[in-house]
């Protein structure tokens, strides 16, 4: 005889994953508005009822910051949306961002038990729903409170925090810096973020385009961090205007470095100095931060051409290709040296790029950019085949002799990776670096070779993900708290 419980489970398994409404591809390539429109309350509750509330929820194992996924989904199914958000915020201070950009298919959703036979619970979409719902009500505070007191009113904060009235400097306002700052502010520290650019957010503001992460969402998440008491100083290039030693000698008890990996790599092939060749970093910064996407209101110089190639297969390449389409290109060629299976981009971005008419030219690698009168005219490529897996675990691409061919283009965007900018690290005495220029830091605590200095995010790991940067910021905050309280290094 089938028990009532197992009957209920079978019924749940039969519910199909709730799709997310989107702008249709023909329309969206003419604008920079967000593509995925988010769940309605009805969608979210329906999707939450698919969750089996597993005894041993494997989804949590897949989350780099250990969000109690099962509980927040349960709260959504009971329509306790604010509580669901509070549950997420226990572990993640930027849920509206993570709900949009995290590679859930490789993390929590990959581990979800439903993924064995069907599609996993849409954990990311549910996270986004509860965060957006709160942000749309213009309320930026959850039940977060200073770590010094259960009561979040400023007077009691003042009283309870006297003992930990220490100053901490955070360098960089990307997800690593923002998270570390937020966590330390909750513990009662006086936290200042020093950011080189004129806008807060790191890659979230200068790299990821509006159609994937609207600036107003980021602004609201940043306001939330500020509401915890964090001060943000913009246009402060540390290493130039101040050094880490200046900070440590001028009242900061500890410093966290979250400066990311913003230095673009090129292929070192002939023709890369031609006009019309961009790094993805420059191209996306011109579009996002310098507002070329708001043409004609902003007439920022950027290639608005008919035929353009983007080289690479990650999120950066997808963002560049989809930006090019929206800036008016008719033919956008995405050139990648491996096959689609090896592409590191999120599945959703690959799907969206295809729907928008981006032409994928796979197993192909550029060998030269050919120009005329100083401007890009063609890209010369070779066909590739896949050999044995390399150190990254992906099959190594190898050129096929005699397969050279040209593609007519007027601009190229190189999206083949980024490395660490040496500006800060070269001015910090006693800071050990890896062979490739990243900061050597303990993976659990972010502790560097320099006393009182911690680091995390892309500047330690190399280009990775938002959630890993946040995880590093969070664990460094714990370690900084311990160090400042005990003085033990
Ligand atoms: C175009 C693009 C798309 C991406 N898409 C995704 C995605 O969909 N999902 C995902 O999970 N990840 C994505 N990533 C990767 C992700 O954004 C990064 O892994 C993450 O932002 C790293 O965070 P971070 O805080 O370490 O550094 P960053 O976000 O790079 O922030 C570093 C900050 O430090 C500042 N800084 C640097 N030097 C100094 C200095 N000397 N003084 C003061 N400030 C300084 C920089 O201006 C910057 O604001 C993408 C990356 C790019 C470039
Ligand atoms: S593994 Fe999937 S079904 Fe199980 S609790 Fe997590 S989200 Fe729900």
Best CA proximity match to 43, nearest among 22, 27, 71: 22
pLDDT at 93: 82
**Ordered alpha helix ranges (H), 62-213:** 69-77, 81-89, 95-101, 108-111, 123-136, 154-161, 175-186, 203-206
Model confidence band, residue 152 (pLDDT cutoffs 50, 70, 90): very low
* Position 347 pLDDT exceeds 70: yes
Q: Which pLDDT value is given to residue 221? A: 87
**Residue 84 predicted with pLDDT over 80:** yes
- What's the predicted TM-score (pTM) here? 0.90
Question: What backbone phi and psi angles, to 5 degrees, belong to 380?
Answer: -95, 130
Dist. CA 419–CA 431, nearest whole Å = 17
> Above 60 in pLDDT, residue 141?
no
Ligand 1 centroid–CA 487 distance in Å is: 31
pLDDT band at 155 (very low <50, low <70, confident <90, very high): very low
91 pLDDT band, cuts 50/70/90, is confident
Q: Is the pLDDT of residue 143 over 50?
A: no
Domains contained in the chain, CATH given: 4-136 (1.10.1060.10), 154-262+420-486 (3.50.50.60), 266-418 (3.50.50.60)
Pocket test for ligand 2, best of 57, 84, 88, 123 (most atoms within 8 A of CB): 57
Average pLDDT, integer, range 396-400: 94
Protein residues whose CB sits closer than 6 Å to any atom of ligand 1:
101-103, 171-177, 194-197, 202-203, 207-208, 236-239, 258-260, 262, 284, 315-316, 319, 346, 421, 423-424, 457-459, 463-467, 469
Q: pLDDT band for position 9 (50/70/90)?
A: low
Instruction: Supply 327's token pair.
Output: 């800036």
Average pLDDT, the chain: 91
Q: Beta 364-372 vs 375-389: how paired, if at all?
A: antiparallel
Pocket lining: 121 vs ligand 2, CB cutoff 6 Å? yes
| 350 has pLDDT over 50 | yes
Q: State mean pLDDT over 85-106.
A: 92
Between strands 331-335 and 359-361, the pairing is parallel
Per-residue pLDDT for 26 more than 60? yes
For 227-273, write each residue's pLDDT tens digit.
999 999 999 999 999 999 999 999 999 999 999 999 999 999 999 99
pLDDT at 8: 64
């Amino acid at each position: 005889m089938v028990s009532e419980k197992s009957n209920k489970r079978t019924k749940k398994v039969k519910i199909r994953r709730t799709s997310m409404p989107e702008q249709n591809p023909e329309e969206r390539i003419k604008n920079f508005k967000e593509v995925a429109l988010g769940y309605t309350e009805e969608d979210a509750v329906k999707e939450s009822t698919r969750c089996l509330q597993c005894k041993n929820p494997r989804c949590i194992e897949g989350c780099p910051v250990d969000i109690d996924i099962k509980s927040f989904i349960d709260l959504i199914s009971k329509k306790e949306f604010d509580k669901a958000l509070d549950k997420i915020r226990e572990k993640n201070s930027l849920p509206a961002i993570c709900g949009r950009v995290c590679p859930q298919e490789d993390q929590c959703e990959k581990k979800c038990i439903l993924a064995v036979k069907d599609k996993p619970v849409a954990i990311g979409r549910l996270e986004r729903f509860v965060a957006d719902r709160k942000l749309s009500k213009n309320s930026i505070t959850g039940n977060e409170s200073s770590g010094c007191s259960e009561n979040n009113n400023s007077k009691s904060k003042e009283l309870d925090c006297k003992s930990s009235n220490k100053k901490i400097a955070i360098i960089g306002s990307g997800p690593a810096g923002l998270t570390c700052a937020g966590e330390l502010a909750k513990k009662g520290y006086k936290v200042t973020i020093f950011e080189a650019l004129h806008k807060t957010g790191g890659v979230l503001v200068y790299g990821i385009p509006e159609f994937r992460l609207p600036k107003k969402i980021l602004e609201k998440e940043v306001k939330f961090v500020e509401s915890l008491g964090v001060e943000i100083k913009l246009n402060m290039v540390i290493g130039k205007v101040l050094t880490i030693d200046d900070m440590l000698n001028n009242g900061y008890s500890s410093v966290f470095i979250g400066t990311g990996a913003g230095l673009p790599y090129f292929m070192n092939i002939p023709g890369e100095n031609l006009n019309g060749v961009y790094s993805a970093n420059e191209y996306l910064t011109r579009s996002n931060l310098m507002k070329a996407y708001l043409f004609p209101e902003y007439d920022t110089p950027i290639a608005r051409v008919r035929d353009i190639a983007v080289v690479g297969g990650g999120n950066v390449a997808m963002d560049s290709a989809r930006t090019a389409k929206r800036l008016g290109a008719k033919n956008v060629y995405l050139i990648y040296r491996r096959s689609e299976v090896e592409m590191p981009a999120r599945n959703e971005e690959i799907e969206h790029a295809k729907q928008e008419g981006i032409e994928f030219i796979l197993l192909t690698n550029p060998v030269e950019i050919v120009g005329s009168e100083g401007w890009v005219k063609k890209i010369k490529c070779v066909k590739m085949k896949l050999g044995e897996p390399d150190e990254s675990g992906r099959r190594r691409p190898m050129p096929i002799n005699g397969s050279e061919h040209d593609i007519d283009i007027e601009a190229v965007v190189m999206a083949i990776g980024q490395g660490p900018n040496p500006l800060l690290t070269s001015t910090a005495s006693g800071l050990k670096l890896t062979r490739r220029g990243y900061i050597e830091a303990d993976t659990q605590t972010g502790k560097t070779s320099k006393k009182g200095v911690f680091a995390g995010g892309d500047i330690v790991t190399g280009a990775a993900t938002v959630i890993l940067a946040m995880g590093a910021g969070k664990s460094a905050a714990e370690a900084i708290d311990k160090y400042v309280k005990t003085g033990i290094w």
